[in-house]
A and B are shown apart, each in its own frame.
Chain A
């Protein structure tokens, strides 16, 4: 008998939530997954096996669920609109709920809860990077054009603080209404989500939405693609538009507002961060900023833009050690850059900077080339 949509019976929570029955087992997810070259993860198998409710506990115990870098390739490639990685994250949630996580993960999550950052640093020193700088602070209730969201990793990591410091130096030369949040700024929750701590993530969304809305910002400018992506995807009640800083700078260089001081006579290859590229579709703006830097010759990886290779920096990988002895993807990336003859691998994400720089040092190429954030490069060519 012909009827409308047949009601699904006897399916578990995963089946409907992740549309498991929509899967045609084509393998584009696993086929595209960048970590398959060095880890046992086969995300298609998880989509297939998660249909069986009784098997979920067993699946959650498999170590490879922690190999996913949440680069989103599986979701972008899926012809049926599934998000295979979300199945892995839901399994991680089951582990987190049972409390059987690695101590590093536990400590990171606890630190977010207590101090608002995953790096086990006191909230009180979140703005130490501002020392010696004249930073305009935003105030709740006072409208501001551009509200900057720094990111925990950039705020606390001494290697990365230069990104924020350069930003302030350049902003102060421009006629731009801006403000920083200060020590109240709290983790965006991107990595909390990928580590499977759903409850804490929800709490962060609630608290951060309230905090960010209090500033009445026209737009929020995120330093990290991770904060940028998570705000745009998981913060439905945010009142301000959220952009990545490369989008702001694309506007600024387009309007010829950047006071260039010198030249950067270098061959630069840009590495697309997954959270800016594959997750958000921002490919052109960072390139256009780099191209405008006087002297820069911009190169391209063969695997660039939609085919870019993940650096393995996200998905909680900062706190879960990989046991694979095979070449890291960041190393592959550095070797590719060297083969291209690049002097600089430019990135626009704090995690990419850490992983690629680590790989470069591990390979011993420090004499020949370097990894730099776009903001670092801008700092070198904008007048003091």
Chain B
């Protein structure tokens, strides 16, 4: 700060994004006369390599010590330009961005107004940049391990990638087995691979991988710390089965007094299980779990003359005294892969899902058509009077998707294709069935998808353009009330079974994960990524990444691709072993701090704590900032009664002149 400021100011055209509504030359000319501005230029794309070269050359040749780029939002390119000035030996924090795109050209239509505002923004940047202080970012060590929450295909893939790279992975799954939704599917579109056949090897790899620690039937309870240094507490719920002794033989489930009496979650309520169960035959770990909500022993304290499972277990693995266990460990990065819920079809009462047993959801169809499903793959439904093989079948698309009346405006991206797949599978199983698919649009956008849709249509699956409005009963038949919109014909089609292609929704319990990791939701209520295009797996919390449907509906190929992306991003701190801590953090003037704690209560990142210091023999409390957690948001500063806590680069003495310049320039 000894040198007199010599400012270089660069006004970006951004093609015509800025220059169409801001006279960039006039802005540069105006800036030329502002105090300490040594050089002011315009360029078509400042972020391009020649644009950056322009800045670097001026720093070198003109001895600039401050740089202002008047361009897009700092969220876009602040990092780019900081790097550029740093390469010329300038402190990277001697850079200021004047946002004349998002805050100016995009919101103005009139060139005169747009230019006037751009001048103000530039003048205020000049007022501030002169007062900036040099900052140094610090580095801390990163723990070479990752936590993955959710062990569906997204979590499994991310775990394998990170573990293969040589890092420790803790894979936490809330249900007794890993596998997730993909384990429930029969075949996968468009290649018709058997879902279990391609998933199971990966599940087994997870279990046997030396770097992966599986924590199934478990829940993350606490997350502390920051990128590189998270401390995690996981509750492993009691299974009431000693997994070290359990051989997975299944004698216990056969013996259970409630055998075949409990609704199977895995079979979407269509099959039955025992109170001691393994969710499905290929479960990993292949261990049994006692369901505490149904088990007679656990709910009533007695089970006949004694629990039958205990009697049947040769290995002596049953243990009703087992307690939950808390596991604690440290990781450097976290991947959230918590998946989705399917839309609850009873929320569209017009489709009669709650009224008719032969109106089923797409997920139920997956189990019905699966050879490991409740009917062994036979397509049979109960029509209210008898069990029949349906000969006329209707598929209804967009149930709970693209529908503002249920609050889901988005397309669920998988229903078109899983419907086509299920229509194909039904055609195989019931060759003479009349299969109709009622649709609004067919979205077959993926690799091989349109070709698959073509194939299914030619297998005599009738696509009718119209979204049904109502289902009611006539005799033994269900009536689908719909308009064929291509011929403008209202129809009442009689069928034996209706399959509702339900969409995907965020997990009902996502709030818990949000609070745990300070995540936010986008408009569709799924977890929000840091940038929809350029940071699709990152979140607003450093070191926390997203994979799979928790971020938005997607099919298996996209889920796996995103999981691999999240794994790669999560490995950055693990591989480098270091994380850089943001330099623009809040700082406390301990001499004036009164220790009132207001800042502690408003900090959204829990970055501030009160510590006791000894001053001239007096013990007193002052605020202290954990720089690794602080995001420099300034909330603390806004409530501080004595102006003692202020973010670096955003101190009062820096931003008040900036604000004054905004109001004072004509």
Which chain A residue lies CB-closest to B482? A31
Interface string of A21-59 (1 = CB under 8 A from B): 000111111111100110000101100000000000000
CA distance A28 to B402 in the complex (A): 13
Known: A26-B466, A31-B467, A37-B490. A42 touches B483 (CB 8 A): yes
Interface string of B471-508 (1 = CB under 8 A from A): 11100000001111100101110000000000000000
Q: Give every chain A residue within 8 A of B440 (Cβ-Cβ).
A: 24-26
A4 at the interface (CB under 8 A from B): yes
A164 at the interface (CB under 8 A from B): no
Our pick among A1, A42, A80 for the contact of B404 (Cβ within 8 Å) is A80
Residues of chain B at interface, number, CB under 8 A: 34
Q: Are B488 and A45 in contact (CB under 8 A)?
A: yes
Q: Give every chain A residue within 8 A of B467 (Cβ-Cβ).
A: 26-28, 31, 79
B106 at the interface (CB under 8 A from A): yes
A307 at the interface (CB under 8 A from B): yes
Q: Are B483 and A31 in contact (CB under 8 A)?
A: yes
Known: A1-B20, A4-B106, A307-B350. A30 touches B405 (CB 8 A): no
CA distance A73 to B490 in the complex (A): 15
Q: Are B349 and A2 in contact (CB under 8 A)?
A: no
B352 at the interface (CB under 8 A from A): yes
Minimum CB–CB distance for B442 against chain A, Å: 13
Q: Are A302 and B350 in contact (CB under 8 A)?
A: no
Our pick among B20, B355, B485 for the contact of A26 (Cβ within 8 Å) is B485
Q: Are B349 and A305 in contact (CB under 8 A)?
A: yes
A353 at the interface (CB under 8 A from B): no
Which chain A residue lies CB-closest to B491? A31
Minimum CB–CB distance for A276 against chain B, Å: 16
B265 at the interface (CB under 8 A from A): no
CA distance A77 to B484 in the complex (A): 16
Q: Give every chain B residue within 8 A of A33 (Cβ-Cβ).
A: 469, 490
Residues of chain A at interface, number, CB under 8 A: 31
B91 at the interface (CB under 8 A from A): no
CA distance A333 to B17 in the complex (A): 62
Minimum CB–CB distance for A56 against chain B, Å: 19
Minimum CB–CB distance for A182 against chain B, Å: 41
Q: Are B350 and A77 in contact (CB under 8 A)?
A: yes
Q: Are B481 and A32 in contact (CB under 8 A)?
A: yes
- Which chain B residues numbered 423 to 454 have a C-beta less than 8 Å away from chain A? 440-441
Minimum CB–CB distance for A273 against chain B, Å: 17
CA distance A45 to B355 in the complex (A): 31
B107 at the interface (CB under 8 A from A): yes
Which chain A residue lies CB-closest to B105? A1
Our pick among B398, B403, B472, B492 for the contact of A302 (Cβ within 8 Å) is B472
Interface string of A298-336 (1 = CB under 8 A from B): 000011011100000000000000000000000000000
B53 at the interface (CB under 8 A from A): no
Q: Are A2 and B17 in contact (CB under 8 A)?
A: yes
A262 at the interface (CB under 8 A from B): no
Q: Give every chain A residue within 8 A of B492 (Cβ-Cβ).
A: 37
B613 at the interface (CB under 8 A from A): no
A3 at the interface (CB under 8 A from B): yes
CA distance A29 to B467 in the complex (A): 9
B311 at the interface (CB under 8 A from A): no
Interface string of B456-470 (1 = CB under 8 A from A): 000000000111111
Known: A1-B17, A79-B403. A32 touches B106 (CB 8 A): no
Q: Are A307 and B20 in contact (CB under 8 A)?
A: no
Q: Give every chain B residue within 8 A of A3 (Cβ-Cβ).
A: 106
Q: Are B490 and A31 in contact (CB under 8 A)?
A: yes
Our pick among A36, A78, A81 for the contact of B490 (Cβ within 8 Å) is A36
A162 at the interface (CB under 8 A from B): no
Interface string of B141-166 (1 = CB under 8 A from A): 00000000000000000000000000
Q: Are B350 and A306 in contact (CB under 8 A)?
A: yes
Q: Contact residues of A with B, CB < 8 Å?
A: 1-4, 24-33, 36-37, 42, 44-45, 73, 76-81, 302-303, 305-307
Q: Sort A-B residue pairs by CB-CB distance and give the 7 closest, nearest first.
A: A32-B469, A31-B469, A27-B483, A36-B490, A27-B466, A79-B403, A26-B467
List, sorted by A's number, 18 A–B pairs whose CB atoms are closer than 8 Å. Answer: A2-B106, A24-B402, A28-B467, A28-B469, A30-B488, A31-B482, A31-B483, A32-B469, A33-B469, A37-B490, A42-B490, A45-B488, A73-B469, A77-B470, A81-B405, A302-B472, A307-B471, A307-B472
Extra 5 A-B pairs, beta carbons < 8 Å, given A2-B17, A26-B485, A31-B483: A4-B106, A26-B467, A27-B465, A30-B488, A30-B490
